[in-house]
Amino acid sequence: MRHFLSYFSNCAFYFSISIIVILLLLSISTYSQTDTSSILINEVIITSRIEKLNSENNIQEIDTNIINNITSESLSVLLSEYSNVSIKSYGVSGISTLSIRGGASEHTAVIWNGFNIQNPLNGGFDFNLSSNIIADNIKIKYGGSSAIYGSGAMGGAIQLSNNVIFNKGVNNTTLFSLGSFGKINLQEKISWSNKKMIFVVKGFYNKSDNNFPYTNISKIGYPIDTLNNAKVEQSGIVFENYVQITKRQLLSAHLWLQKKYAQVPPNMLSKEKSAEQYDNCNRLALNWNYIKNKVNIEARSGLFYTDLNYINDNLNLNVYHASLNNINEIIADFRLVKMSEVEFAVNNNFTRAVSDNFLNKEQLNKTALFTSFKSKIIPRTIININGRVEVVDGVLKPITFGAFAEYSVTKSFLINTNLSKNHRSPNFNDLYWQGAFAQGNKHLKDENGYTTDISFIEKNKIGRLTINNKLSVFYNKTDNMIQWIPLGNIWTPSNQKEVKSRGVELFSKTHFSFSKQSIFYVNINYSYINAQITKKTNIESDDVIGKQLIYTPLHQSNLFVSYRYKDITLSINTKYTGEQYTRSNNKDSISSYTLVNIFANYKIALKTVSCIAFVKINNVLNIDYVQRQWYPMPPMNFETGLTIKIN
């Protein structure tokens, strides 16, 4: 099994490298044969499905100032501190998943270069595995998107994308930082571009010993213990190559290689020794775009390999899990009249999975047809209707659909609304898991449900003041939710639960320019999520009905305040997380907590070089808190570093 997995990984890796080399040679050849006197635009705008099928007002984009301020952090930290998603982390070295509007981690699609890169084995995505350097732009779509992205997008979607700017010459950005508890972070981004081609290399390495003190609330007297054996070390490299073959054609290749080693300490209640986990991810994406008059055609192919090796001497476990996923898609967009367009897409997703907990090598093939219609014919109104039909291993799945409408009441006040039918197919673990006192269920039904919301948006500019506010009210209903339940001594998944969630979200972005050298920013996010069980599993008592879902805070908010004067920037981020229940009957919970972080930087700009020195203090109030019960998080800690940019 291990030899097979190693061979599996090597094949995926070398295939990816070969494709990148071929495309690089092709791009050089194309450049040498193409008339360089052609006039090309410097920046190519590639519109994603999220923007194309909604509007910019229906998407939360993490502010560029924020991304630049915390480039040394993981995606988990960024999303936790600056959006309305809820992060669920098993300590500093454990996996970190997220929830949108009370949904499970499997209900959020993660889109990279047009591909959904959720893990096919468990349906999740570990946001601790990714550095912010991976993406220039991070956007969040709240609400169901199964018609657009297929199974696994019932709660929302996270989009990771990059800027495509030609003719910028050579640019280099280097970051180095040191922090508390043995934290080291290195990042490097080198890009070269001319009128026809862009080549980018991004690399990162980070390590942390995580040997911090914490209050052990599981012991009498609440003594101060030290977290040991929680070391994390990871590295990754990304290659990007864009080639403008003609004025109307763009070819790109993206290769993302990453590995991680983590010691996984037991929780406060356990006396066991730490376990170890090794993660490897190889992702390759090839994209071709053609734009001419009223036609836009995209073709893409992706190859994604992941493996995980978990070693736990306490349980005498040494297990491997791996998957190889190939996704191919063709999208054709036609502009019917001046203000309307229709889109058709064909998608095929083939997955091969092996695991020490599967009896056989398993595989799954999905083929989907997608269509959408978008119109602006009605004055001040945008309408989009889309639908998707999917066949999984020859079985026709229920049709999913989405409808979006936006109306501009005035130039500065808009209203939009969404309605979607969504589904999630069981993942490989749900279907095929065997052993370790658990057994999958091949007879599971798809989860299905509806989501709807209405938003009120204000976008205004009054002199030097810019205001962008949004208030959303939403309602979600999920049927046949898959729940792992014990049958005797064996845990098995079953379609048991029904969940309804409703709530309110507030997004506010304001900045005021005192002058060109003096700017004040304020970002506010708040969410109220009432997610209740309306149908229980067979083994649960009646007192779980109407109770809040576990690890879903009723109230959550964050406030980001930043002031820049000339070359000095000072930022403060405050994150409040409300009480979270840890049992379905709501009789046990994690207390609410507030985290305050301070960030300051100073920029020295020369003709072609700029240096930014920064310092960050996390958890300024030095509070004891957990995101998952019995898994401690760090007390007050520091990080300082230097970013050097060469243009």
Q: What is the mean pLDDT of residues 205-217?
A: 94
Q: What is the CA radius of gyration of the chain?
A: 25
Q: Are 428 and 461 in contact (CB under 8 A)?
A: no
Could you tell me which residues come within 8 angstroms of residue 330 by beta carbon, excluding any fewer than 6 positions away?
297, 298, 299, 345, 346
User: Model-level pTM?
Assistant: 0.90
pLDDT for the residue 38: 35
CATH number of 2-646: 2.40.170.20
73-82, 203-212, 497-506, 513-522: segment of lowest average pLDDT: 73-82
Q: What is the mean pLDDT of residues 466-480?
A: 95
> Taking Cα atoms as reference points, which of 476, 473, 471, 560 lies closest to residue 521?
560
Between CA 279 and CA 273 the distance in angstroms is 20
pLDDT for the residue 316: 86
98-107, 253-262, 498-507, 517-526: segment of lowest average pLDDT: 98-107
> In this structure, what token pair is assigned to residue 342?
């229709």
- Burial letters 458-493, b for 16+ CB under 10 A, else e: ebeeeeeeebbbbebebebbbbbbbbbeeeeeeebb
Using one digit for the tens of pLDDT, what is the confidence trace for 588-638? 999 999 999 999 999 998 888 999 999 999 999 999 999 989 999 999 999
DSSP letter string over 293-304?
Answer: TTEEEEEEEEEE
Between CA 136 and CA 9 the distance in angstroms is 28
Using one digit for the tens of pLDDT, what is the confidence trace for 339-371? 899 999 999 999 999 999 999 999 999 999 999
Q: What rounded mean pLDDT belongs to the chain? A: 88
pLDDT band of residue 533 (cuts 50, 70, 90) is confident
Instruction: Express as a percent the part of the chain with pLDDT over 90.
Output: 65
For 186, how many CA atoms within 13 A lie in the half-sphere containing its CB?
A: 8
Could you tell me which residues come within 8 angstroms of residue 29 by beta carbon, excluding any fewer than 6 positions away?
none
pLDDT for the residue 46: 58
Asked if pLDDT for residue 28 goes beyond 70, the answer is no
Instruction: Express as a percent the part of the chain with pLDDT over 70.
Output: 89
pLDDT for the residue 77: 84
Which has more confidence, 133 or 43? 133
Asked if pLDDT for residue 16 goes beyond 80, the answer is no
Helix, strand or coil for residue 23? helix
pLDDT for the residue 54: 67
Q: What is the mean pLDDT of residues 550-570?
A: 94
The residues spanned by each domain of the chain are: 2-646
Paired residues of 498 in beta bridges: 535
